[in-house]
Amino acid sequence: MRRDIFQAIADPTRRAIIALIAVQAMTPNAIAENFQTTRQAISKHLRILTECELVITKQQGREIYYTLELDKMKEIDKWLEQFRQLWETRYSQLDELLTTLKSKKK
């Protein structure tokens, strides 16, 4: 079952896992050490992140390492870009308004 990436990042624990493995690849046990929850709960979160292809697994010997899939993160960034442009426009308009009001006060 392919999950939606936005469903995956809606959960704060999964966002925290993404932040952890963005820095370096980690094993499930190493990830679980950073949370006050069970190893099984972390495994479930990792499964969801894997199903939506935000993280990938790499086997090294007997260990499995989870790493961030940057191309999927770009998909999120691309969607957010439309809002980023809107916010920038509104901030610029607010800046202009504040400058105008400030100059009228003098």
Digit-coded pLDDT (tens) for 12-41:
999 999 999 999 999 999 999 999 999 999
For the chain, the average pLDDT equals 91
Please tell me the distance from the alpha carbon of residue 24 to that of residue 44, in angstroms, as a whole number. 20
Range of the domain at 106: 70-106
Residues 42, 7 share a domain: yes
Number of domains within the chain: 2
Digit-coded pLDDT (tens) for 42-54:
999 999 999 999 9
- Give mean pLDDT, residues 2-10: 83
Residue carrying the six token digits 């993280």: 55
Instruction: Write down the pTM of the prediction.
Output: 0.75
Please tell me the distance from the alpha carbon of residue 21 to that of residue 84, in angstroms, as a whole number. 25
Q: Which amino acid is at 37?
A: T
Digit-coded pLDDT (tens) for 69-99:
988 888 888 888 888 888 998 888 898 888 9
Q: 39-51 and 12-23 helices cross at what angle (nearest 10)?
A: 80
Please tell me the distance from the alpha carbon of residue 101 to that of residue 48, in angstroms, as a whole number. 50
Residues 51, 83 share a domain: no
